[in-house]
Amino acid sequence: MSVSRETPPSSAAGVFADRLELAERYVDMLATAGVERGLIGPREVPRLWSRHVLNCAVVVPRIPESATVADVGSGAGLPGLVWAIARPDLQVTLIEPLLRRTTFLEEAVTDLGLDSVTVLRARAEEVDETFDVVTARAVASLEKLGSWCLPLVRPGGVLLALKGQKASEEVRASRGALQKQGATDIVVTSYGDLDVPTTVVEVSR
């Protein structure tokens, strides 16, 4: 049974500009191969734009120009592929340990012609490189994310953890551990004029 797909909201054009067609092609991949391979639940197809793609895309203005970005536990490419589509100036590395996910990511990068994206099959702890921006979405608790991601953040860089509405509670519970892991500043910020704004925990190193 086919599931009806969501039409791109009008705000998508403002975020993706002349790369909106690329974003639409990526959403089509999520709705087909992404579902078939178990990367996206079938129930998510009618809300791929509002709940997933735009949820990631509204954070793009926070990323410095020409930054190097690592997306830890990239899964189906959220937010890393979305950011790479919206911002061709970024150098994005998608870090994902599972083969079926990296296969999907590599196919998406090739099909969309994203020359600025590298897919790396590895765990975060195995990566010997640092980045201007490290991100993760729906991967783990903030304390665990800190232990995995902060070593990948270059001094002066930032971890942008896309979180839910309990982000402030997570920060209170994990502030001490994050500071021991090298965090210098921790703030919770909301992005986007969406029904549910995107909540990001910004951890500077």
The pLDDT of residue 1 is above 50:
no
Tens of pLDDT, residue by residue over 102-148, are: 999 999 999 999 999 999 999 999 999 999 999 999 778 888 899 99
DSSP 85-150: HH-TT-EEEEE---HHHHHHHHHHHHHHT-TTEEEE-S-GGG----EEEEEEESSS-HHHHHHHHG
120 contacts: CB under 8 Å, gap ≥ 6: 93, 94, 95, 96, 102, 127
Higher pLDDT among residues 139 and 44, named by residue? 44
12 in a domain, yes or no? Answer: no
Least confident of 4-18, 76-90, 146-160: 4-18
3-state secondary structure of 48: helix
Within-domain flag for 176: yes
44, part of any domain: no
Q: Is residue 78 part of a domain?
A: yes
Give the C-alpha separation, 102 to 122, whole Å. 10
Pairing of strands 153-163, 131-137: parallel
Domain assignment of residue 92, yes or no = yes
Residue 127 confidence (pLDDT): 96
Q: Answer whether residue 50 is part of any domain.
A: no
Residue 4: predicted pLDDT: 61
Provide the CATH number for the domain around residue 142.
3.40.50.150
Question: Residue range 70-88: average pLDDT?
Answer: 97
**Average pLDDT in the chain:** 92
Q: 185 in the Ramachandran plot: left (φ > 0), alpha (ψ -120 to 50) or beta?
A: beta
The two tokens of residue 159 are: 């971890």
Total tally of structural domains belonging to the chain: 1
Count of CB atoms situated within 10 Å of the CB of 32? 13
Q: What average pLDDT does range 156-168 have in this prediction?
A: 92
Q: Is residue 13 part of a domain?
A: no
CA distance linking residue 54 with residue 15, whole number of Å: 8
pLDDT at 5: 65
Domain with 116 in it: 58-204
Please report whether residue 52 resides in a domain.
Answer: no
